[in-house]
Amino acid sequence: MIVPRATNARGLAEHGWLTSHHSFSFGDYYDAQEMGFGDLRVINEDVIQGGGGFPAHPHRNMEILTYVLSGALRHEDNMGNGSVIQAGDVQRMTAGTGVVHSESNASAVTPVHLFQIWVLPDREGHPPEYEQQTPPRAGRAGRFQMLASGDRADEGLHWHQDAQLLTAELKAGAELDYPLRHGRMQYLQVAHGDLTINAQSRLKTGDGCRITRESRLILSAEQDTTILLFDLRAAP
């Protein structure tokens, strides 16, 4: 079953320096029917204007992943990490027993466009952790590339949950046939582009969809398209 969610159905926060679309309830956006999807709790698509940013703030007991699409994001935290996350980079924090961090646009003039993702951990109380990678872009051309996984044998970052985050870049006219693991559920988010899923649902930039009880995905790109795919434990 594929259940689309149009981009304009998402929550929207406009703060001048920040435009944020919320796939699930977050901040001032609340929808009792959109509290997450399995262990996936937050997908925020943020555009931070030059010079803007989030001051230091705390998190606990959450796996937090940031994927930068364009621009650059500056990060600092109370674990002693200070870095600039460039376009194509992926960063993961285990908030666990508690972290404090700040995020700001590394440029005074160029916007930074990113996804911030929260996944519920497998348990509370993990020690705080930080890691960052630059996955090779060739690894997602016409196929799925692993960005994060709960299995240390997988490529990408490691988070504390039985969940995978993958990304793919498809050229216009390309098709990707991807088998799905039995007994799982998936969420697909279109970062930009236009594609058809299993010859039944057409999604464009900003759209997402819940996927349950499907054995495979056949993705047909109508335009150059970038997607994120979450592979999750099935809900009880």
pLDDT, tens only, 216-236: 999 999 999 999 999 999 976
Residue 97 has pLDDT above 90, yes or no: yes
Q: What amino acid is encoded at 154 in this protein?
A: D
Read off the pLDDT of each residue in 127-149 and give the average, rounded to a whole number: 96
3 state DSSP class of 138: helix
Q: How far apart are CA 117 and CA 17, in angstroms?
A: 20
Q: What is the pLDDT of residues 23-71, one digit of tens each?
A: 999 999 999 999 999 999 999 999 999 999 999 999 999 999 999 999 9
Domains and CATH numbers, the chain: 9-134 (2.60.120.10), 138-233 (2.60.120.10)
Residue 9's CB is within 10 A of a number of other CB atoms, namely 14
pLDDT at 21: 98
Question: 73-90 in b/e burial notation, b at 16+ Cβ within 10 A?
Answer: bbbebeeebeeebebbbb
- Which band of pLDDT confidence, cut at 50, 70 and 90, is reported for residue 132? very high
Whether 104 contacts 53, CB under 8 Å:
yes
Q: How far apart are CA 76 and CA 83, in angstroms?
A: 7
Q: Which helix (H) or strand (E) holds 56?
A: strand 53-59
What's the mean per-residue pLDDT of the chain?
96
Q: How far apart are CA 125 and CA 137, in angstroms?
A: 34
- Which band of pLDDT confidence, cut at 50, 70 and 90, is reported for residue 147? very high
Find residue 40's DSSP bridge partners.
Answer: 37, 119
Residue 108's CB is within 10 A of a number of other CB atoms, namely 9
Q: What is the pLDDT of residues 161-191, one digit of tens each?
A: 999 999 999 999 999 999 999 999 999 999 9
pLDDT at 235: 76
Residue 11 has pLDDT above 90, yes or no: yes
Q: From the CA atom positions of the chain, what is the Rg in Å?
A: 17
> For the whole model, what pTM was predicted?
0.96
Q: How far apart are CA 209 and CA 211, in angstroms?
A: 6
Q: How far apart are CA 18 and CA 73, in angstroms?
A: 13
